[in-house]
Chain A
Amino acid sequence: MAIPTHAPDDGFVQLLTPEGERVENSDFPLDITDDEIRALYRDLFLVRRVDAEATALQRQGELGLWAQLLGQEAAQVGAGRALVSGDMAFPTYREHGVAWCRGVDPLTLLGLFRGTTNGGWDPEEHGFALYTIVIGDQCPQAVGYAMGLQHDRAENAVMVFFGDGASSQGDVNESFIWASVFNAPVVFFCQNNQWAISEPLERQTRIPLFQRAWGFGFPGVRIDGNDVLACLAVSRHMLQRAREGAGPALIEAFTYRMGAHTTSDDPTRYRLDSDVEAWRLRDPLERVRSFLHKQQLVDQSFFTELDEEAEQLAERLRAGTRALPNPLPPDMFDHAYAEPHALVDRQRAEFSQYVAGFAPEEV
């Protein structure tokens, strides 16, 4: 297929307009059933509810921190639903929507932000690596994993997530080179949410980010990151291409971080309300909702039931978070190595003895 070599300045692949009108794109046709669209809306809605509840829990002192995904639901759900069994995803710390699609219980994510676990899920079981806090660090790992798939002759692909800020990191650029030179089956999925904490995009790049791909020797494409159908179609296409041995690709999902960088950040100090308002009109959920309405694919009970499901999920998260067990101090040694390790065992024993010394003596 022809990868567009140059996009117009504001051009991107869009299959569903903000007004909920379906548009066709000959490069990225999407074959999708009504049920699948309904399921996508459910994903978007519940992921947003998880995000809102986690934010509230942080404000109530139940979580140490939360990185909000508000506004990026479509990018994450579209990409997440394009992955198939055996594919591997490498997230940052904000990919709650991808985690959802990979079957990671949101409550498990909250454990990480409550500080009761150092990770919480089995990456192999879910095809979803642990969250990476260090910016861009997951990219070399993802490329390494993809090269491993090549050696195994596996017919799967890797998708790695990062942001516009990370695109300036050495790790990310080195990953591009390795992936390109070794033709690794990896799709770089950049959620350009316009802000690297408080640094705007114009301080990261002089050209649209997706155009950088050509310099490294693989295709890049910009998509409407608030359009779940475009995200799904282009992700599916690029993943399939990688699985078939055609090598890496870069997807730039053009979106907007509607919330703060994390709950410790105050975006009103560095950006204008009017910008946020403009993006609110391109909301990723509203356009699907409006499409479902217009096409008469749902009735009111669909939304009512979804509301109820979301409330139940939120309640489960609230109660579940408060009930998360505190780990025992020696637990931190458990995942240092996969196999038993004599030195770690000795350190664990010494540390346990030390900790035990703090307990009041039984009389």
Chain B
Amino acid sequence: MTQERQFCLPDVGEGLTEGEVLKWLVAVGDTVSVNQPLVEVETAKAAVELPSPYAGVVSSLHADEGQLLPVGAPLVTIGVTGEPDPPVAEAAASGSGGPVLVGYGVTESATRRRPRVAPPSPHGTDRPEAGPPGEPVKPVRHGGLEVGRAAEARFATDGEPTVVRAKPPVRRLARQLGVDLASVRPTGRDGTVSRDDVESAAALALSDASSGGGSGRPMLGDRREPVRGVTRSMAAAMTESAATIPAVTEWVEVDVTRSGALIERMRGLPEFSDSKVTPLVLVAAACLTALRREPKLNAMFDAEAGEIVHRSAVNLGIAVASDRGLVVPHVGSAEALTLAELSVALGDVVRRGRDGTAAPADLVGGTFTITNVGVFGIDGGTPMITPGQSAILAFGAWRERPWVERGQVVVRSVSTVSLSFDHRFIDGATGSRFLRDIADILEEPALLHLWA
């Protein structure tokens, strides 16, 4: 006889919550043996092959390639003939079906559930509690220490717990993002508020605030798409940035005619034959020189520790639009490079960012970011600071414009540079000096030498 056995997505990496199905290695109808690889799954930690716990015939695949599955969700069902192997790794078909991982998973939910605590009854007996639908009303008995009982009872009302359950890191995140935990709908295990719950509440609060509310109202024909990958990291980073960094933005128009001429000269020099010299190179060089004069813009405000972290190097991040979305690879220790080396390094990170081949190490640990909105034909804006950094510079398109010089209107090449900085520890004077330095260098690139 054949028995259907379900294999659920295990936590293959100590505390993971989800995994993406990369590739199925078997199809419905295939006969599989024990430990035969079934599927390739990518988690936050690694891409791994999952071997079959059963020998039998694949009767259904429960996820498509590219689908993100929570740990504990059914992955594949296998029809097993012969010996009845104890199906330990299966999620309880009846319901709560926690993650299947031994040691972290939820089993025997009926007996392991945390007791709900009712206020002390005047009659000195415990009150009955409504069970899940379909189950008889069960009396609740409270055990444990008197102190714990008293404390829990204080927070309880009429059988419904009002104590919000969330882990300490989630509570801290909620504080950082200004989210009231009690207002969040918990979706985590055992009714806890998860990190995702808090982040989406924060994102909702932001979009409500900006659109006057009601942005989430569905319309006929709407399509829903799971947020994942680069978009997901972008959402988290931007939410954190908006919620935790009080930033101000300043901008200034610059006559970049001399810079343009210098770039033309550089393109002809043998030192720069290994790379394509772009305005980004000069802007980056200007930032590096200005950062040496105002190193605070490369520092970080660590609110938790109440400290300012002065960086030993400039890891110069460049915001790059890739097919997958915004990525910010950086040039490590950029301050130590010559102009020619910088040009090669910038070309490299931009290309790798665009191709999606940037190494993980290139994507974290930046200390200052430049975003080139000029490539989109834009002049300026209010760029958002990458969490962990203190400033971001946007440089706009270089265009020919009328410009007044010594009382004469002349045609010059003009651009705008916009700077957002963390106003918690960088005051307006410092931020303005820094931006002015950059503008001065772009107007007169010889300052690169004078201020070197």
A residues adjacent to B (C-beta < 8 A): 53, 56, 58-65, 114-116, 260, 263-266, 268-269, 318-319, 322-323, 350, 353-361, 363
Set A64, A353, A355, A363: member contacting B104, Cβ < 8 A: A64
Chain B 103-128 near chain A by CB (<8 Å), digits 1 or 0: 11100001111110000000000100
Contact A263 B12, beta carbon cutoff 8 Å = yes
**Whole-angstrom distance between the alpha carbons of A360 and B138 in the complex?**
8
Does B53 lie at the interface of the complex (its beta carbon under 8 Å from any beta carbon of A)? Answer: yes
Q: A263-B13, A264-B13 are in contact. List 20 more A-B contacts (CB 8 A).
A: A56-B35, A56-B51, A59-B48, A60-B53, A62-B53, A62-B89, A62-B102, A64-B101, A116-B102, A260-B46, A266-B45, A266-B46, A323-B86, A353-B143, A354-B144, A358-B144, A360-B140, A361-B138, A361-B139, A361-B140
In which size bucket is the chain B interface? 35 or more
Contact B102 A359, beta carbon cutoff 8 Å = no
**Whole-angstrom distance between the alpha carbons of A319 and B51 in the complex?**
16
Contact A64 B14, beta carbon cutoff 8 Å = yes
Interfacial chain A residues near B141, Cβ < 8 Å? 357, 359-361
**Whole-angstrom distance between the alpha carbons of A114 and B113 in the complex?**
22
Q: Given A350-B145, A361-B139, are A264 and B46 also a contact pair (CB < 8 Å)?
A: yes
Set A58, A65, A360: member contacting B110, Cβ < 8 A: A360
**Whole-angstrom distance between the alpha carbons of A110 and B134 in the complex?**
40
Does B341 lie at the interface of the complex (its beta carbon under 8 Å from any beta carbon of A)? Answer: no
Question: Nearest 10 A-B pairs (CB), nearest first?
Answer: A357-B143, A61-B10, A266-B46, A115-B103, A361-B141, A354-B144, A322-B88, A61-B100, A264-B13, A60-B53
Contact A358 B139, beta carbon cutoff 8 Å = no
Nearest chain A CB to B22's CB is how many angstroms away?
13
**Whole-angstrom distance between the alpha carbons of A64 and B329 in the complex?**
34
A-B contact pairs, 9 of them (CB 8 A): A64-B102, A65-B14, A265-B45, A319-B85, A350-B145, A354-B145, A358-B113, A358-B115, A361-B140
Contact A62 B88, beta carbon cutoff 8 Å = yes
Residues 344-376 of B contacting A (Cβ, < 8 Å): 360
**Whole-angstrom distance between the alpha carbons of A350 and B148 in the complex?**
12
Interfacial chain B residues near A265, Cβ < 8 Å? 45-46
Interfacial chain A residues near B47, Cβ < 8 Å? 266, 268
Does B394 lie at the interface of the complex (its beta carbon under 8 Å from any beta carbon of A)? Answer: no
Nearest chain A CB to B392's CB is how many angstroms away?
28
Set B50, B114, B144, B360: member contacting A60, Cβ < 8 A: B50
Interfacial chain A residues near B100, Cβ < 8 Å? 61
Interfacial chain A residues near B114, Cβ < 8 Å? 358
**Whole-angstrom distance between the alpha carbons of A361 and B138 in the complex?**
8
**Whole-angstrom distance between the alpha carbons of A148 and B250 in the complex?**
71
Nearest chain A CB to B55's CB is how many angstroms away?
11
Does B49 lie at the interface of the complex (its beta carbon under 8 Å from any beta carbon of A)? Answer: yes
Contact B143 A356, beta carbon cutoff 8 Å = yes
Contact B143 A358, beta carbon cutoff 8 Å = yes
- Measured CB to CB, the nearest residue on chain A to B114 is A358
Interfacial chain B residues near A269, Cβ < 8 Å? 46, 360
Which of A260, A268, A269, A353 has most B Cβ within 10 Å?
A: A269
Q: Given A58-B12, A323-B86, A357-B115, are A64 and B103 also a contact pair (CB < 8 Å)?
A: yes
Residues 118-174 of B contacting A (Cβ, < 8 Å): 126, 138-145, 148
**Whole-angstrom distance between the alpha carbons of A258 and B11 in the complex?**
23
Q: Given A60-B10, A61-B8, are A264 and B138 also a contact pair (CB < 8 Å)?
A: no
Interfacial chain B residues near A62, Cβ < 8 Å? 10, 53, 88-89, 102
Contact A61 B101, beta carbon cutoff 8 Å = yes
Q: For the complex, would chain A's binding face be called helix, strand, loop or mixed by DSSP majority?
A: loop
Nearest chain A CB to B432's CB is how many angstroms away?
42
Contact A360 B111, beta carbon cutoff 8 Å = yes
Contact A61 B115, beta carbon cutoff 8 Å = no
Number of interchain pairs (Cβ within 8 Å): 107
**Whole-angstrom distance between the alpha carbons of A60 and B145 in the complex?**
38
Nearest chain B CB to A291's CB is how many angstroms away?
29
Nearest chain A CB to B62's CB is how many angstroms away?
15
Nearest chain A CB to B164's CB is how many angstroms away?
21
Set A61, A266, A359: member contacting B11, Cβ < 8 A: A61
**Whole-angstrom distance between the alpha carbons of A115 and B15 in the complex?**
14
Interfacial chain A residues near B115, Cβ < 8 Å? 357-358
Interfacial chain B residues near A264, Cβ < 8 Å? 12-14, 45-46
**Whole-angstrom distance between the alpha carbons of A175 and B50 in the complex?**
41
Which of A264, A266, A268 has most B Cβ within 10 Å?
A: A264
Interfacial chain A residues near B301, Cβ < 8 Å? none
Which of A59, A319, A354, A357 has most B Cβ within 10 Å?
A: A59
Interfacial chain B residues near A65, Cβ < 8 Å? 14
Interfacial chain A residues near B35, Cβ < 8 Å? 53, 56
Residues 47-91 of B contacting A (Cβ, < 8 Å): 47-53, 85-86, 88-89
Interfacial chain B residues near A58, Cβ < 8 Å? 12
- Measured CB to CB, the nearest residue on chain A to B129 is A360
Chain B 10-48 near chain A by CB (<8 Å), digits 1 or 0: 111110000000000000000000110000000001111
Does B434 lie at the interface of the complex (its beta carbon under 8 Å from any beta carbon of A)? Answer: no
Does B7 lie at the interface of the complex (its beta carbon under 8 Å from any beta carbon of A)? Answer: yes
Contact A59 B12, beta carbon cutoff 8 Å = yes
**Whole-angstrom distance between the alpha carbons of A356 and B115 in the complex?**
11
Set B8, B86, B111: member contacting A359, Cβ < 8 A: B111
Q: Given A64-B104, A353-B144, are A59 and B51 also a contact pair (CB < 8 Å)?
A: yes
**Whole-angstrom distance between the alpha carbons of A50 and B13 in the complex?**
20
Interfacial chain A residues near B7, Cβ < 8 Å? 60
Interfacial chain B residues near A356, Cβ < 8 Å? 143
**Whole-angstrom distance between the alpha carbons of A61 and B114 in the complex?**
25
Nearest chain A CB to B52's CB is how many angstroms away?
8
**Whole-angstrom distance between the alpha carbons of A84 and B280 in the complex?**
68
Interfacial chain A residues near B113, Cβ < 8 Å? 358
Interfacial chain B residues near A56, Cβ < 8 Å? 35, 51
Nearest chain A CB to B11's CB is how many angstroms away?
7
- Measured CB to CB, the nearest residue on chain B to A57 is B53
Interfacial chain B residues near A353, Cβ < 8 Å? 143-144
- Measured CB to CB, the nearest residue on chain A to B131 is A360
Nearest chain A CB to B372's CB is how many angstroms away?
29
**Whole-angstrom distance between the alpha carbons of A318 and B86 in the complex?**
10
Nearest chain A CB to B442's CB is how many angstroms away?
39
Contact A322 B86, beta carbon cutoff 8 Å = yes
Interfacial chain A residues near B52, Cβ < 8 Å? 60
- Measured CB to CB, the nearest residue on chain A to B110 is A360
Nearest chain B CB to A269's CB is how many angstroms away?
6
Nearest chain B CB to A81's CB is how many angstroms away?
28
Contact B102 A318, beta carbon cutoff 8 Å = no
Q: Given A263-B12, A263-B13, A360-B110, are A60 and B89 also a contact pair (CB < 8 Å)?
A: yes
Nearest chain A CB to B140's CB is how many angstroms away?
7
- Measured CB to CB, the nearest residue on chain A to B359 is A269
Interfacial chain A residues near B112, Cβ < 8 Å? 358
**Whole-angstrom distance between the alpha carbons of A265 and B43 in the complex?**
11
Nearest chain A CB to B142's CB is how many angstroms away?
6
Q: Given A115-B102, A322-B86, are A59 and B49 also a contact pair (CB < 8 Å)?
A: yes
- Measured CB to CB, the nearest residue on chain A to B90 is A61
